[in-house]
Structure 1
Amino acid sequence: MLLFLSGQMNEINERADKVHQELLPKFFEMGKVVEHNQAKVLNAFKKAGVSDFHFQASTGYGYDDAGRETLEKVYADVFNAEAAIVRNQIVSGTHAISTALFGILRPGDELLYVTGRPYDTLEEVIGIRGKKNAGSLNEFGITYREVPLSEGKIDIKKILSTIKPHTKIIGMQRSCGYGDRPSIGIEELREAISSIKKVYPQIVIFVDNCYGEFVETLEPTDAGADLVAGSLIKNPGGGIAKSGGYIVGRKKLIEQCGNRLTAPGIGLEGGASLGTLLDMFQGFFLAPHVVGESLKGAVFSSALLSSFGMTTSPGPDEQRTDLIQSVSFPNREAMILFCQEIQAHSPVDAHVKPYPSAMPGYESEVIMAAGAFIQGASIELSADGPLREPYKAYVQGGLTFEHIKIAVTASLVSLYEKEILTV
């Protein structure tokens, strides 16, 4: 790889190439997961009889939108679920999760999160932070509790002793988010869900699947989850879908979520696709490959940065269950510089320099580097995080491995130039 550097800087490039070469056997094994998931998606497309007719736009109420209905059949098939909602009207992963929670929970019910504190943007949805009269779950008389992880694992014994008669939904978040914990793999989900369902079969198991789609060969619904949600500008959109979200799961629950998304009496019958279907279909078809590229980039980033003594999680040899790669920095300035260099090596807005600032839904100042074709698309290369101790940037996404390699290596060069690192 050539970054047009001279002198000692070439040593960083040479080390990047060496790390890349050493990872090639691992990349082949990762490619087998991509191949499995690609076949799964391809078979779902064939089974649903996807045609160019299904890419046509509907307007107005969007009744009888054959393309939208077919896309939702494809998603349900791939996720091994009874039904699915895949809509451009869902504006984010948080919106998809909120729709699922409000769709199922009723006053007097309890939401119990068992993977610790959920992602920052859900705190205001739940009502544990934020303004009054904002319409949180808490204001509707829905209680919330959480069970922390035990040594990074779901604490099944503690969960079983914590559940109460009014516990309606048990929530699980696969990704670490901005937390200092490992992500949750499918087999760990399966064990926890099976143990809970044996004792409490009536409880609804909900999984926030953001950043986790296609990372493994199975999805949370394969592991017994009743309801799963995520964003189309993350993994399943493949870098093509311009907006949207999805919810998959049991048919009865999906119908309730549909009533929340639109209105009772309309449910999933309404919702014009407005010309978004081609992007959604094509993005979903490309998603296994794009996720594979992002994962290769995450493993490379971890290996290269670790070789310079930096702390990364997961480590280069650890199992991957989502796209997120955290990188620890000694101070605020180092973290800001790293993120700014990721932005400077982005295809869009490379000339823009990000700085920490307050953002809706977040308690701390956040720096976000994301020179993406689609605003906020986490499947495209980005680096962000709250400016609080410990200083961690969360690197995620990347449409091509080569882009990730170039950007991360260049960021290392800048850290060296500022004497934050030594070769």
Structure 2
Amino acid sequence: MLAARNRCPVAGQQLPSGAVSAPLAPRPVQPPRSLIIAHGERRSANRTKWATAEPPATQGPVVDEPVQELSVADQIWSCSQDLAPVFSEVDRLVAANVRKVQRAFRDHRIGPHHFQGSTGYGHGDLGREALDSVMAQVMGAEAALMRVQFVSGTHAIASALYAVLRPGDEMLAVAGHPYDTMEEVIGTRGTPGHGSLQEWGVSYRELALTGEGRIDWEALKTAIVPGKTRVAHIQRSCGYALRPTLSIDEIGRAVQIIKAQDPSVVVTVDNCYGEFTDTREPCDVGADLAMGSLIKNPGGTIAPGGGYVAGRADLIGRVAARLYAPGIGIDAGGVPGSTLRIFFQGLFLAPQTTGEALKGGRLVAELLHRDGFTVIPAPGVPEVWSMITAVQLRSRERMTAFCRGIQRTCPIGSYISPEPGVTAGYGDEVIFADGTFIDGSTAELSADGPIREPYVVYCQGGTHWTHWALALEGAVTSLREAVAKDN
């Protein structure tokens, strides 16, 4: 790997062998430790724990930005100019998806009367029912549940799995090991007695990826055990793994191979981070259920919470019974009118905000690649558009430095200094930089990752790509300082 402290060249320019950046300007003198304790805050990865540490940004004299910081800014804007053709391709994708969402709104005659909301049981809520119908059409599905009662994407995925699987069934993970928070749902990790799938008598198996991080197509052809394998689960995004995001064509190919072995197998897709990164969704190519979070892509960065499950109508009925209770069905679930309006508006904004996040990811990839780091997807127009840009930083200290630089430019909690720590649902320590208006909304702008080899930070979201341009100024400067210490 090239020394990460090397200056970022403009497109086409090669760095001389051994070239390094100019010496870093000295840091401003920090106030005594007693003052630091008296002011500011530090947050661990466990979002419920806070402690005093760093001074607020206004502490001490105001100093001009160091020369190195301005140099990073110049490099970032040079990268953005080179990315103009890439950004244009994103805009074409956004336009196609805006057209699709607007058509669904028109087909279902969405009007102000759909924003009335409901209380209590929520029976007869026209807005909620219309929202489900619009979401189903956008997702290419027969039916959908787009509900505030889902607290996360993991909750939506778990509800779908529990709705379909029964004791004695097998769940097969088709694309390698699933996202960390699914481990406790499945039962490979977690607290005994909390009712994981394995505790309910569901067996689990996973199909390892190839050395290139792809689905093993030959192994998949014989992976289904007819009459036993009930669910074949596909995770679309890379999650916390160094592998490419799956394309819609790959998901469609997997569905065909699975159904050829046993048509009764239910294909479920963890669609988190995948919505609107293509003009098609998993149900368009045969997936039986697709699930995701509304504080990611489909909430347009303004949904206050919630999740969705879309797919076959008979299976959606089962999911509703798991989310609520058997006998309640899909025609219940009170939701305030203000929340309904935000869900509709967020869904309409979602293609645009997803496009801005894609642009931000391309900027991250371009700049960090020029600095010598391995990034996935590689710079330029990727084979598959991905909301997640993985950057391999190779040490705990570099991950911490990068995330702290990102946090300083977040609109909420910019004075907080992220720390690696234990958080619910994860087996390893995790660090989060996510100063967002909606708690945990990785669709806004975030960088996080588990503290484990090869020490990869995953960059997501961004309401506009220029926010990433500003965030990278501090993050890359901090990262280069950490690399300089290593050397």
Residue 330 (structure 2) pairs with residue 268 (structure 1): yes
Residue 444 (structure 2) pairs with residue 383 (structure 1): no
Which residue identity does 2:414 align to in structure 1? A
- Structure with larger Rg: 2
1:180 maps to which residue?
242
Residue 167 (structure 2) pairs with residue 103 (structure 1): no
Residue 233 (structure 2) pairs with residue 167 (structure 1): no
Deviation of 1:4 (Å)? 6.1
1:279 maps to which residue?
342
- 1:16-27 matches, within 5 Å, as 16-27=76-87
Residue 307 (structure 2) pairs with residue 245 (structure 1): yes
Residues 334, 420 of structure 1: 8 Å contact kept:
no
Which residue of 408, 413, 427 maps to 1:363?
427
Deviation of 1:184 (Å)? 0.7
Which residue of 357, 364, 374 maps to 1:311?
374
Residue 124 (structure 2) pairs with residue 64 (structure 1): yes
Deviation of 1:162 (Å)? 2.3
1:127 maps to which residue?
187
SS of aligned partner of 2:458 = strand
1:218 maps to which residue?
280
Which residue identity does 2:346 align to in structure 1? G
Deviation of 1:418 (Å)? 4.5
SS of aligned partner of 1:248 = strand
Q: Structure 1 residues 213 and 12, CA, compared in 2 at 3 Å: closer, same or farther?
A: same
2:75 maps to which residue?
15
Residue 101 (structure 2) pairs with residue 38 (structure 1): no
Structure 2 distance, partners of 1:325, 1:378, is 12
SS of aligned partner of 2:419 = coil
Q: What stretches of structure 2 of length at least 5 have no aligned partner? A: 1-62
Which residue of 266, 278, 281 maps to 1:204?
266
Superposition CA RMSD, Å: 1.5
Deviation string 1:100-134 (CA, Å, 9 cap, x unpaired) is: 00011111111101101100111000111111110
1:400 maps to which residue?
464
Structure 1 distance, partners of 2:103, 2:298, is 16
Structure 2 distance, partners of 1:363, 1:288, is 33
Q: Structure 1 residues 340 and 267, CA, compared in 2 at 3 Å: closer, same or farther?
A: same
Structure 1 distance, partners of 2:144, 2:484, is 48
Residue 119 (structure 2) pairs with residue 55 (structure 1): no
Structure 2 distance, partners of 1:224, 1:316, is 31
Residues 230, 247 of structure 1: 8 Å contact kept:
yes
Q: Structure 1 residues 101 and 418, CA, compared in 2 at 3 Å: closer, same or farther?
A: closer
2:22 maps to which residue?
none
Residue 314 (structure 2) pairs with residue 255 (structure 1): no
Which residue of 75, 79, 89 maps to 1:29?
89
Deviation of 1:332 (Å)? 0.9
Structure 2 distance, partners of 1:10, 1:397, is 24
Structure 2 distance, partners of 1:316, 1:129, is 35
Structure 2 distance, partners of 1:126, 1:355, is 28
Residue 431 (structure 2) pairs with residue 341 (structure 1): no
Residues 415, 421 of structure 1: 8 Å contact kept:
no
The structure 1 segments of at least 4 consecutive aligned residues displaced by more than 6 Å after TM superposition are none
Aligned length: 420
Residues 69, 474 of structure 2: 8 Å contact kept:
no
Identical residues among aligned pairs (%): 47
Deviation of 1:421 (Å)? 9.1
Which residue of 73, 86, 93 maps to 2:153?
93
Q: Structure 1 residues 8 and 134, CA, compared in 2 at 3 Å: closer, same or farther?
A: closer
Q: Structure 1 residues 219 and 408, CA, compared in 2 at 3 Å: closer, same or farther?
A: same
Residues 213, 322 of structure 1: 8 Å contact kept:
no
